[in-house]
Amino acid sequence: RADAADEDDHDEFDGLLEGEVVEERIPLLSLRKMLRLPGTAAHGLIPVVLTEIHGRRVGLVVDLRDSETAPHSGVLLEAIHSVADASVLGDLTYTRTTVSAAGYVPIGPQFVVAARVAGEGMSGTPGVGSLYWMEASDRPYDAVGGPLSDRALDNHRLLGRNKLLANVDLRYDAYAIPTLVRVTVLGFVDAGRVFEPEPFRLTTHGMSVGGGGGLFVQLGRAGILGGTVGAGPDGLVLQVHTRWTF
């Protein structure tokens, strides 16, 4: 009986590796009832269907910054298109297109003016969880609202399929020892909005605008710790940062 069960398990595993839909029985009777799955359970065992999730992403990135962690000059241009296709007890298929442009202009040895504009549009049937973030070439980030998108809003304050962001920073290096330590004082203005259910468009109408300041400390070439205080539609918002917003 045990040998036969082992052979069945191997056969099911081989089918999964070949990309086929396989069926495995596990002792979760309450899950069958909760999801109202068909069929009957034998001795507390229920059928669970394992499915494959397909995802594709293509993009164009132009990075002319002098530094990735704390840039003082240059530009970063990104255009990314991704497709998600899954079937887990239902269909979940959507596309995501993200375009962003960021620039950094030094003013003298200590000041830097930085700005970013980013927009994203989604189509299909995205899940709620996929609305919480925006795509980027290095890693996705929380939006709209939070330390990496709109610092004057709480995390995920605005939620929708289509998003628009704009950020402007004035950064002042109050103290710096090259490659060792840098202390930077920041002033910023952020604006953002979502379009739900309306389609994405470039506009200044309906933008949530806020501003504030912050302090960042960079140790070595990569270690960054900072904080910002922003004033927006919901009052004062405190954010903790482990990287620059952009």
**Neighbouring-strand partners of residue 191:** 166, 209
Residue 82 scores a pLDDT above 80: yes
Encoded tokens for 227: 């904080």
Question: Could you tell me the pTM of the whole model?
Answer: 0.75
Mean pLDDT confidence for 29-45: 48
Q: In 3D, which of 84, 80, 109, 113 has the Cα closest to residue 97?
A: 80
Residue 125 scores a pLDDT above 80: yes
- The Cα–Cα gap between 160 and 52 comes to 27
Residue 10 scores a pLDDT above 60: no
pLDDT interval class at 36 (50, 70, 90): low
- The Cα–Cα gap between 194 and 144 comes to 7
pLDDT given at position 129? 86
Count of helices and strands (H, E) across the chain: 2, 13
Q: How distant is the alpha carbon of residue 157 from its chain centre?
A: 14
Residue 131 scores a pLDDT above 70: yes
